[in-house]
Amino acid sequence: MRERSCDIAVIGAGTAGLAAFHAARDGGADAVLIEAGPGGTTCARVGCMPSKLLITAANAAHAARHAGVFGIEAGPVRVDGRRVLERVRRERDRFVAGVFEKIDAIPAERRIAGRARFSGADTLAVDDHTTLRFRAAVVATGSSPAVPEPLRDLGDRLLTSDTLFEIADLPETLAVLGGGAVGLELAQAMARLGVAVTLFDPGTHLAGLRDDGLAAEARRLFGEEMCLRLGCTVEAGARAGDGVRLTWTDEAGTRATGTFARVLAAAGRPPNVRHLGLAEAGLRLDDHGLPDFDPRSLLCAGAPIFIAGDANADRPVLHEAARQGRIAGANAARLLASSRAAVASPRPWTRLAMVFTEPQAASVGEAYDPADAGRVLGTVDFGNQGRARIMAENAGALRLQADRSGTLTGAEMLGPACEHLAQFLALAIEDGLTARTLLDRPFYHPTVEEGLKTALEAIVAALDRQD
């Protein structure tokens, strides 16, 4: 075994790991980056970018089929699944190559290839070739798709977000397990590309929506494009002919079966921490194998180890992973240069989550809680909103929340351009704006954002009635 040492060992060369490595170096530390592969970041390789490529192709097919609403007849639409997937992979590979270029720019002596495992409070074993002694470490090992127990023997008939984009052609039928962001996005994309999709979820609220009214509208809209089996638990899966036979139980306890060409497991991505030997480093672990850590400084209790990005399961989205990586790397350098007192604990960003379906869904800031009597609520109905009607995307609604002082605290939405509305509101909430202040800012006409005025006016009117 080769032996070497460093100030800071960064485990994982994804979004969080790369940010942590560079922040540690900027802080003057001797940092080493360890990567087990395949690399390229979750976002570029199997997440944000390939999924949006698939969604964009699907939306193009959907727009062509429904152009008649504008008086335009496009004729029969034929989807060439092989060409669709070839473009997805081709463009995906360009994004991944860009990441590898950044990694290759790091001097070879600061990179170690292999799978790391803690072998002590200050040592890591990398495969069977290197022992690395460190003074501090950053765990940024990302996440992997969860595969439910009933589906683990399906072989290549089981797809995950890590394997979906590698298939040669579109399946005729697809069962999707999971109605969250990943499952719903991919389910709708496949349906719009001509695949007969059935989506299973044990809950009744799609896209992470908490508001009952928005959830009901989501069920109605997405139910027009695919078969929804909500409140169902998939209990068994077995290979059957060229496909898969699933057995499930619905809310009433009724059992049913169905056969599908492929099954997509999209019910979450647990962090990659179980095989790191975190207990060997002296960390206290919970039932999920996660260490006790400060969500602001990202420092783990009991050792000079930080945990960032998807690995800590706190806010598993790219912009948070990049920020957490920077915080963890900089704090690791500060810890070595001074003491724990020098470790920074920045305020968390305003929560921001989006689902890139049509209609889009998003949530911002504090989670919607219908039982919260202290909130003031304003609503926008997109059914008759001007720009939404122009685009023939007039469905859904937005619920905007403020506290009793009128300060905006959160929003949940389902409708057109939610990615822009959510970003707009995240900045307003981050800056502590009140409904009255934001209402006095410019809103261009005609835009979907202009619809926010309705919700803001409702909040201001409710506050005025309380005075």
pLDDT at 1: 80
Transcribe 420-441 into DSSP letters: HHHHHHHHHHHTT-BHHHHHTS
Q: Check if CATH label 3.50.50.60 holds for domain 2-145+271-342.
A: yes
Asked whether the predicted pLDDT for residue 467 surpasses 80, the reply is no
- The single-letter DSSP state of residue 137 is E
Query: Between β-strands 243-249 and 255-260, what pairing exists: parallel, antiparallel or unpaired?
Result: antiparallel
pLDDT at 341: 67
Query: With bands split at pLDDT 50, 70 and 90, how would you rate the model's confidence at 315?
Result: confident
Asked whether the predicted pLDDT for residue 231 surpasses 90, the reply is yes
**Residues 92, 44 contacting (CB under 8 angstroms):** yes
What would the pLDDT profile of 88-146 be if each residue is shown by its tens digit? Answer: 999 999 999 999 999 999 999 999 999 999 999 999 999 999 999 999 999 999 999 99
In the chain, % helix, strand, coil (3-state, to 5) comes to 40, 25, 35
Question: What's the per-residue H, E or C state across 172-220?
Answer: CEEEEECCCHHHHHHHHHHHHCCCEEEEEECCCCHHHCCCHHHHHHHHH
Range 390-409 burial, b when 16+ CB lie within 10 A, else e:
eeebbbbbbbbbbbeebbbb
**Ranges of each domain in the chain:** 2-145+271-342, 149-265, 352-466
| CB atoms inside a 10 Å sphere around CB 342 | 12
Q: Which CATH number fits domain 149-265: 3.50.50.60, 1.10.3720.10, 3.30.750.210, 3.10.105.10?
A: 3.50.50.60
What would the pLDDT profile of 365-419 be if each residue is shown by its tens digit? Answer: 998 887 787 899 999 999 999 999 999 999 999 999 999 999 999 999 999 999 9
Structure tokens, 93: 């590979």
Tell me, yes or no, if the two domains 2-145+271-342 and 149-265 fold the same way: yes
Q: What is the pTM of this model?
A: 0.95
Task: Please state, in angstroms and rounded to a whole number, the distance separating the CA atoms of residues 97 and 10.
Answer: 21
| CB atoms inside a 10 Å sphere around CB 292 | 11
pLDDT at 340: 66
Which amino acid would we find at residue 411? A
Q: Check if CATH label 2.30.30.280 holds for domain 352-466.
A: no
